[in-house]
A and B are shown apart, each in its own frame.
Chain A
Amino acid sequence: MIPLSWFLIVAAILFCIGLYGALARRNAIGILMGIELMLNAVNINLIAFWRYITPEVLTGQVFAIFVITVAAAEAAIGLALIISIYRNRETVVVEEIDMMKW
């Protein structure tokens, strides 16, 4: 049997890699990829806790499904925004999208 802490360690590392991507990337699509990595890490945690601590109650799996749903909605809206901004401003670099900053 794999120890529970192994899954938690991998999920923590994946989360922080995604956090670094979301904070440091200049490309808006790269930021979205970092957010997807973070959501994946959260899902690994949810499923691991379900499997090891409450395998008879399926709350962990249900929450993972809701997280995947929200991730899909977020990716669709985010990429639509990026395409729209690119069409108007010819850039996807977040530092150059500053028309609401003064």
Chain B
Amino acid sequence: MNVMQIAFLVLAVAAVGSAIGVVTSRNIFYSALLLIGCFFAVAGFYVLLEASFLAAVQVLIYVGAIAVLIIFAVMLTERMMSEKKRAFNEQWWVALIVSIFLVAVMLYIVVTTAWPATGAAAPADAIVALGQTLLSTYVLPFEIASVILFMALIGAIIIAREERPVGRAGEEKEVED
């Protein structure tokens, strides 16, 4: 047991514990807060795997953008979700059986397979190489990803905005009740 392995075990306990809290907490707001803890633990895994750019992106996008979006949505819809309501649907036990079966199968495969780990050191200039790979081999998916983000931005605005009847010139029309 060296320092890296101890750090991994601490991060693993934090990630799995907060993930269990996310799916079992009755209050959806606590779920959102625990989700942030889980994202930080996953960023710690990336640091251990020497993927420094991905660790920064994980903190910036997941914690900074997605978690804040989720908390916004929880705040805007909180009134309905009092703690007295059931958190799970009627089929929760089927979901539990499916999940436990799947995790058993995956753990069996992971443990019994001989993984061909090379043990080679990570490249020192991984961020430079990553940028060059993104803009040479994967330039088409890179551009498509930017289009996807743009369309998602426009789509989210159009779906979430309040619909008011507007006139032809853009000014608001009188709503007749």
Interface residues of A (CB under 8 A from B): 1-10, 12-21, 23-27, 29-30, 32-34, 36-37, 40, 43-44, 47-48, 50-56, 58-59, 61-62, 64-66, 68-77, 79-84, 86-87, 90-95
Contacts and interface: CB of A to CB of B under 8 A. Distances in A.
A23 B91 contact: yes
Interface of B: 4-5, 8, 12, 15-16, 19-20, 22-23, 28, 31-32, 35, 38-39, 42, 45-46, 48-51, 53-54, 57-58, 61-62, 65-66, 69-70, 72-74, 76-77, 80-81, 85-89, 91-92, 94-96, 98-100, 102-103, 106-107, 110-111, 115-123, 126, 129-130, 133-134, 138, 141, 145, 148-149, 151-153, 155-157, 159-160, 162
Nearest to A19: B99
B98 A19 contact: yes
Given A14-B38, A55-B118, A58-B126, 20 more contacts: A5-B110, A14-B15, A15-B103, A20-B96, A21-B23, A24-B89, A24-B95, A25-B89, A30-B28, A30-B31, A43-B54, A51-B51, A56-B123, A62-B130, A62-B141, A65-B134, A66-B141, A72-B66, A76-B153, A87-B162
B159 to A, nearest CB: 4
A23 B95 CA distance: 6
Q: 3 closest pairs, A vs B, by CB?
A: A21-B23, A73-B152, A23-B95
A7 B49 contact: yes
